[in-house]
């Protein structure tokens, strides 16, 4: 007679099946959904985090870019995944804005924020309004004056209708009393390339996403959408200094489908915390000009729910956009 395998014997003794005993999370690769095209904040933050979390968890984390509709396509996809820990997502504030915007447009939202649990906030970065380095506008006031004389003639790029950078730029336009021409793209990389190529005339991005172009002189930063000036851009005024209430912070957070078993959620939280605290990750983020603003799941959830309400107010203030 064959001797039972040790795991099977133990399973019988404990009254559970051998497969259940063997399936300790994670036992296979994990997918990290990036709901934007390569090169944007969620992508440049998610990829190095995935590498470090893979080492900690002992399984590969495969990054999958699912861009489109300001992030809605990828977020809707992730929201429908099984809550088993094998699908996670790196998202931006647009996760909260898109469902509200869909309702405003008279559409059925493709997902609900209730379908996600926050695992960790990684960063929170103010956006910077920039134009090309050879632009005729040397100051933000010059751009505003031109826009008032020629409504909807100055174009700006974004990650999509009601996407994060669309909301940021519309907040500025609303505060300045001007109308700009919105040109949506699939993600951070594309919208930055659009300004580089002269396809649009302005954009609002994090410093980390445009630092190399600002340093090279390809981009000219006109204003920062934060309460205080950025240390990396000490000569660039804030919108608040210029008399406009239009602060905007682009944060990046790690999410999972709602309903994760607590033990699996705990493992993801621990892996994210260790990865974010790793010196190599800090070096990577610092190199991009993106400061780490870590929050664990509980604190992040409180922050996110407050931000969600603020996002809703911004969308309703902007109103329906064609």
Q: What is the pLDDT of residues 58-99, one digit of tens each?
A: 999 999 999 988 889 999 999 999 999 999 999 999 899 999
Q: How far apart are CA 36 and CA 53, in angstroms?
A: 20
Percentage above 70 pLDDT, the chain:
92
Q: Are 208 and 289 in contact (CB under 8 A)?
A: yes
Which of helix, strand or coil describes residue 175?
helix
For the entire predicted model, the pTM comes to 0.76
Which of helix, strand or coil describes residue 190?
helix
pLDDT in tens, 114-147: 999 999 999 988 999 999 999 999 999 999 999 9
Q: Are 258 and 117 in contact (CB under 8 A)?
A: yes
Measured at the CA of 49, the angle between CA 68 and CA 46, to 5 degrees, comes to 10
Per-residue confidence band for 6, with pLDDT thresholds at 50, 70 and 90: very low
pLDDT in tens, 206-261: 898 899 999 999 999 999 999 899 989 999 999 999 999 888 888 999 999 999 99
Measured at the CA of 47, the angle between CA 28 and CA 270, to 5 degrees, comes to 60
**Cα→Cα distances 10→2, 22, 263, 286, Å:** 16, 11, 21, 49
Measured at the CA of 293, the angle between CA 292 and CA 295, to 5 degrees, comes to 130
The number of residues making up the chain comes to: 322
As a whole number, the mean pLDDT across the chain is 90
Selected residue with higher pLDDT from 274 and 320: 274
Which of helix, strand or coil describes residue 207?
helix
pLDDT in tens, 139-176: 999 999 999 999 999 999 998 877 788 889 988 999 99
Residue partners of 236: CB distance under 8 A and separation at least 6:
128, 221, 222, 223, 224, 229, 230
DSSP track, 288-314 = TT--EEEEEHHHHHHHHHHHHHHHHHH
Can you tell me which residue has the tokens 């800090």? 282
pLDDT score, position 203: 97
């Amino acid at each position: 007679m064959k001797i039972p395998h040790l795991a099977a014997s133990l399973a019988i003794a404990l009254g559970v099946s051998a497969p259940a005993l063997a399936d300790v999370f994670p036992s296979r690769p994990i997918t990290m959904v990036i709901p934007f095209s390569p090169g944007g904040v969620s992508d440049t933050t998610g990829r190095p985090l995935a590498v470090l979390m893979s080492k900690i968890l002992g399984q590969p984390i495969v990054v999958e870019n699912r861009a489109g509709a300001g992030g809605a396509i990828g977020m809707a996809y992730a929201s429908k995944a099984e809550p088993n820990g094998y699908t996670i997502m790196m998202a931006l504030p647009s996760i909260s804005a898109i469902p509200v915007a869909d309702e405003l447009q008279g559409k059925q939202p493709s997902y609900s924020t209730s379908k996600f649990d926050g695992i960790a906030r990684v960063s929170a970065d103010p956006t910077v309004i920039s134009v090309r380095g050879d632009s005729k506008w040397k100051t933000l006031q010059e751009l505003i004056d031109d826009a008032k004389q020629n409504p909807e003639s100055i174009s700006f790029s974004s990650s999509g209708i009601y996407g994060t950078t669309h909301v940021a730029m519309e907040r500025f336009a609303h505060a300045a009393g001007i109308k700009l021409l919105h040109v949506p793209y699939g993600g951070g990389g594309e919208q930055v390339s659009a300004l580089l190529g002269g396809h649009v005339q302005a954009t609002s991005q994090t410093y980390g996403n445009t630092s190399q172009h600002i340093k090279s002189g390809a981009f000219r930063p006109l204003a920062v959408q934060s309460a205080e000036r950025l240390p990396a851009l000490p000569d660039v005024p804030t919108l608040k200094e210029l008399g406009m209430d239009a602060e905007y912070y682009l944060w990046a957070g790690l999410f999972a489908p709602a309903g994760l078993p607590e033990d699996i959620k705990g493992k993801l939280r621990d892996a994210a915390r260790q990865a974010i605290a790793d010196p190599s990750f800090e070096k990577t983020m610092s190199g991009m000009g993106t400061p780490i603003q870590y929050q664990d799941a509980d604190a992040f959830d409180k922050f996110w729910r407050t931000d969600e309400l603020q996002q809703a107010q911004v969308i309703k203030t902007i109103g329906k956009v064609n």
